[in-house]
Amino acid sequence: MNDAQDAVAALLHEASETHHLVYRIVDGDDPDWASWYADWLLELSELPQILARMPVRSDLVWLLVELDRDYTRATPDAPWPAWYATRIIERFGLSEEEAP
């Protein structure tokens, strides 16, 4: 992974940990988890700076839901944050020259 992918993967991991703390009373169960993640990633993290743009919230929610389905179907060896990060950057991210 490159620096941007590492940074996005780290943010996704942080979002996961934070989400689990917020939803601790229900052991992380949140049927609308993708909306929570999108809000957190866009408003409370460095994701827009890493991507050098502010993704549209609904696009990010949709992508997170699709990534969850695809990851579950594909059962890759990569940890989910790294796998998602690659695809988030492909969808919203930077060209190789722009990557930090």
DSSP output for 27-69: TT--TTHHHHHHHHHHHSSSHHHHHTS---HHHHHHHHHHHHH
Give the pLDDT score at 1: 56
Give the pLDDT score at 28: 67
What pLDDT, in 10s, does the model give residues 41-84?
999 999 999 999 999 999 999 999 999 999 999 999 999 999 99
Residue carrying structure tokens 């594909």: 74
Residue 95 has pLDDT above 50, yes or no: no
What's the pTM? 0.88
Give the pLDDT score at 100: 46
DSSP 3-state assignment of 79? coil
CA 87 to CA 91: how far, in whole Å?
6
- Dihedral sign for Cα 86, 78, 65, 38, please: negative
Give the pLDDT score at 24: 83
Whether the CB-CB separation of 34 and 64 falls below 8 Å is answered with yes
